[in-house]
Amino acid sequence: MLTVRIDEQDPTLLSVTFPEDPIGNDLIRAVPGRRWSYSRRCWLVPNTREAVVQIGHLFGKAYCRFDEAVVRLYKPEATHADVERATSPAPVSSNQQPGRNAFRYAPPLTEFDRHPAVVALSESLRRQKYSFKTLKNYKQALIALIRYTDPKPLDSLTKPDYQKYLLFLVEKRKFSSATVNVHLNAWKYFSEKILLREKEFYKFDYPRQAEKLPTVYSVDEVKTLFKATTSLKYRTLFQVVYATGLRLDEVAHLRLTDVDRSRNLITVRGGKGKKDRQVMLSAKLLACLEGYIANYQPREYLFENPETQRKGTPEPIANRTIQLVYSEAVYNAGIQKRGGIHTLRHSFATHLLEAGTDIRYIQQLLGHSSILTTMRYTHVTADKISKIKSPLDNL
């Protein structure tokens, strides 16, 4: 993917960056006035409409990411959807066949959707207002159980039978402890709420889980990530996550009314576990939000789907869209650490802890029910560890 933005040192030039590629180098040499900058480590071309159009023709628009300032300079009438397509083009797959969707878009197994047990489970979860994610996970777990026990009906399943099924999930399917726990909770809900059985305890020795530390960016890496994000909309969204520690779904569903400018607070409504909480709204973040709102003019949600916004029926931006743009921004920033947008939340907590913020305040800001969940960030505070004196220094 090729990135085009206005050069920071000379606004009469455009900086063009792309991964090391001899074909790309040959193509860009066709642009008049181009030159390689050893100090900036990028190609520089004249900041003209002709150069922008020629780059689009040479490399193909699907492979070009234009900074929002470039788009608005040469196409001032561009809609928000146009800007989003130019700043965050969809990833191009070389092996994708026309008219063929990926497996994740395959139609559901309709024969199981109509199964009485699945219908009863879905209706019960909806009545009790469980989240869509819980409904989806429990439904998939019950379908897997039906396929395993077929043709034996679920209401004839005994406790030893299910213990044997759990062993199958671990030994044959190689499921993790977390996934096995979802299957177990789905069955317990079905047996207790639908079959009206007594509560049962399932003794099961889970496989030992690896204790992995969360991935955390340095302050310089966070700055590089923001700089590599060419879209004002997504750069602002990433800044909100880093400034407040919000989860992906929480930032996607933020409403304009949740931003309290007078009290310098942002209210998170219906977070994980359907719990509301409040996080701080810094002066710097407020300035970023005001600049973004002035440009995009969202109606209801802070970050809206551009297609629904144009039709007058605003909906929150899709989580998957945020994830795809984030992955592209990390790649273009040259960050080697693995992790999704949740890494910004980890970085928020770790940087607060390194700055001396009380861990109980961090627990409240993150929305953790247990302080033990927040305490894992004490293991990744690099500045504390780096200041410990090694015994080698005493030799």
Q: Is 133 designated active site?
A: no
Strand order through the sheet with 2-6: 35-37, 42-46, 13-17, 2-6, 64-66
* Pick among 3.40.50.150, 3.40.50.300, 1.10.150.130, 3.90.79.10: CATH of 110-194: 1.10.150.130
Residue 46 has pLDDT above 90, yes or no: yes
Q: Is 57 designated active site?
A: no
Provide mean pLDDT across the span 268-280: 88
Distance CA 131, CA 211 (A): 28
Give the single-character DSSP code of 379.
G
Q: Check 235, 247, 253, 346 and give the catalytic one.
A: 247
Superfamily of domain 219-386: Intergrase catalytic core (1.10.443.10)
Length of the chain as a residue count = 395
CB 244 within 8 A of CB 366: no
Say what the pTM is: 0.68
Amino acid present at 191: S
Q: Is 247 designated active site?
A: yes
Provide mean pLDDT across the span 62-85: 87
pLDDT value at residue 105: 34
Residue 163 phi/psi, 5° resolution?
-60, -40
Q: Check 255, 269, 277, 342 and give the catalytic one.
A: 342
3-state class (DSSP) for residue 319: helix
Distance CA 68, CA 295 (A): 11
pLDDT band at 81 (very low <50, low <70, confident <90, very high): confident
Q: Is 377 designated active site?
A: yes
Q: Rg of the chain over CA atoms, in angstroms?
A: 26
Q: In the chain, pLDDT over 90 holds for what percent of residues?
A: 40
Distance CA 177, CA 171 (A): 12
Provide mean pLDDT across the span 247-251: 93
Q: Check 233, 253, 345, 351 and give the catalytic one.
A: 345
Distance CA 245, CA 86 (A): 28
Provide mean pLDDT across the span 312-317: 82
Q: Is 368 designated active site?
A: yes
